[in-house]
Amino acid sequence: MVDPVLKSRQAPYDTEAFIGELKQRYAHQPMFVQAVEEFLETIIPFVNAHPKYLGKGLLERMVEPDRIIRFRISWLDSQGRVRVNRGYRVQFNNAIGPYKGGLRFHPGLSEDVVKFLAFEQVFKNSLTTLPMGGAKGGADIDPKELNDIDIMLFCQAYMNELFHYVGPDFDVPAGDIGVSQREIGYLYGQYKKLTHLHVGVLTGKGMEFGGSMIRPEATGYGCVYFAKEVLAYHRMELKGKRCLVSGAGNVALHTAEKLIEEGALVVSVSDSKGTAYMPNGMRMEELQWLKRHKFDRKCSLEEFAERYGFIYLEGEQPWGIKADYAFPCATQHEINAHTAKMMVRNGVRLVVEGANMPVTLDASKVFQQSGVIYVPGKASNAGGVAISGLEMTQNSMRMSWTREEVDGYLRKIMKRIHERCVEFGVDKDGRVDYVKGANIGGFIKVADAMLAQGVI
Ligand code: NDP
Ligand code: 2IT
């Protein structure tokens, strides 16, 4: 006779009940719930079909972060005013390697947002094939209202607390929205001052002190390399196609740069104030001007549009523009179901996420049900963290590789992620469900490592 306790432990997961319970417990964290729901919808059927994953509380453990660190950042700004902000680091899962993931400085940052980003990071990092666990952090500050001195003072105050919880073999932060090479430099300087260590504790560093070639470009370039794999697989073209890009930050502008290099027409870039619409596409010189001026926060998209005779759509997103492909590269929830329907009507046939979760769950279903190829960020934007992983490797070796070497690795990694998505996402008719493929492809290594390491 089968032991009834053992039998009940090995019962398959009930998707609805599991997600229902999660939704109740975390009703106040809708972003986190969306990320987990999208994951479990494809993972639970897979787990139920593979009994080795049953009976060990695996999914229950996987959806809870190892720890959430919250702290106060008190600091004196350059005017001598006392300022107080809230800092976070969510260390979600380190089954396959040290915690790894970016830091976001944004006034709207909440525990919910950091948790969803950290959860996504676990499976994205696994997909890269490199040994990295998942984490995310940041602070609820608006870097746009700070001058350079205040940015430095804030980064130092932030690191005064964060340094207790990070280390090159334990947790390695990087950039994200509002955190670029400048902020990473100040954070690194303070870590070094506090610990006397010159180690790979952060990635996205300047080239003079351990940064990797191609890291600034990696997320955007990787996104286009992934799109090229998708298009080749589906016998579709990139050259001459009209592409919508949202955002005008690190990911968006490097996505646009690689798209232009590949002969595509980039018809939009955007930010929180509006959209620059380029009906016949943007030329490389125009993009380079924008990169120089936008990264220094010296120009607005309105000025850019005016300078080159483009159309400026104040307060609008790019999604109403007719196009073939879309690359949302700004932030979460840029595209809802209503917007998705409009994009389908306008002829969009491929959506590749450069940002993390820019598409709501409802909108992703609209794309999938309309036959639009939809690629989730955990597959398509993994190039950034992949090169972060290679920055860690180079730091450990005390070496640095050339631009060509690192770009070669990036291309190979994005190709491998695509193969993995096909392996686990292809259906009987040969169509690829990239959500399913990326989720299962990322899950297996983390799950197997957790099983091997026991209940800890
Ligand atoms: P940046 O700070 O460089 O740029 C962010 C861009 O998005 C800016 O143009 C900003 O406009 C816009 N934006 C931010 N919030 C909003 C909003 N609420 N509405 C409209 N536009 C907004 O960040 P990144 O380019 O690094 O990051 C962009 C996305 O890519 C994020 O989702 C991030 O998590 C993801 N990502 C980043 C990686 C990296 O390596 N940097 C790696 C993988 C994913 P404005 O300046 O007006 O605020
Ligand atoms: O979302 C992401 O993958 C990032 N912000 C990059 C993380 C990293 O550690 O490079």
pLDDT of residue 246: 98
Residue 293 has a CB neighbour count (10 Å cut-off) of 15
Which of 136, 241, 294, 436 does the annotation list as catalytic? 136
Residue 329 has a CB neighbour count (10 Å cut-off) of 31
Q: How many whole angstroms separate alpha carbon 117 and alpha carbon 103?
A: 10
Ligand in closest contact with the CA of 276: 1
Closest CA to 407 of 377, 428, 425, 386: 386
Q: What is the pLDDT of residues 116-155, one digit of tens each?
A: 999 999 999 999 999 999 999 999 999 999 999 999 999 9
Q: What is the pLDDT of residues 421-451, one digit of tens each?
A: 999 999 988 899 999 999 999 999 999 999 9
Q: What are phi and psi of 74, to 5 degrees?
A: -100, 130
Alpha-carbon distance values, 256 to 196, 253, 268 (Å): 40, 5, 9
High-pLDDT (> 90) share of the chain, %: 95
pLDDT of residue 3: 52
pTM for the whole structure: 0.97
Residue nearest to atom 2 of ligand 1 (CA): 177
Atom of ligand 1 nearest to the CA of 330: 7
Residue 347 has a CB neighbour count (10 Å cut-off) of 12
Is residue 7 pLDDT above 70, yes or no? no
Residue among 188, 219, 417 to mutate when testing ligand 2 (max atoms within 8 A of CB): 219
Atom of ligand 2 nearest to the CA of 356: 1
Residue nearest to atom 28 of ligand 1 (CA): 330
Q: What is the pLDDT of residues 51-73, one digit of tens each?
A: 999 999 999 999 999 999 999 99
Domains contained in the chain, CATH given: 4-62 (no CATH), 67-198 (3.40.50.10860), 218-378 (3.40.50.720)
How many angstroms is it from 113 CA to the middle of ligand 2? 14
Return the H-helix or E-strand segment holding 179.
none
b/e map of 419-434 (b: 16 or more CB within 10 Å)? ebbbebbeeeeeebbb
Catalytic (active site) residue 136: yes
Atom of ligand 2 nearest to the CA of 172: 9
Closest CA to 119 of 91, 98, 86: 91
Ligand in closest contact with the CA of 118: 2
Q: How many whole angstroms separate alpha carbon 246 and alpha carbon 99?
A: 29
- Encoding tokens for residue 47? 């787990």
Is 249 close to ligand 2, i.e. is its CB under 6 Å away? no
How many angstroms is it from 271 CA to the middle of ligand 1? 9
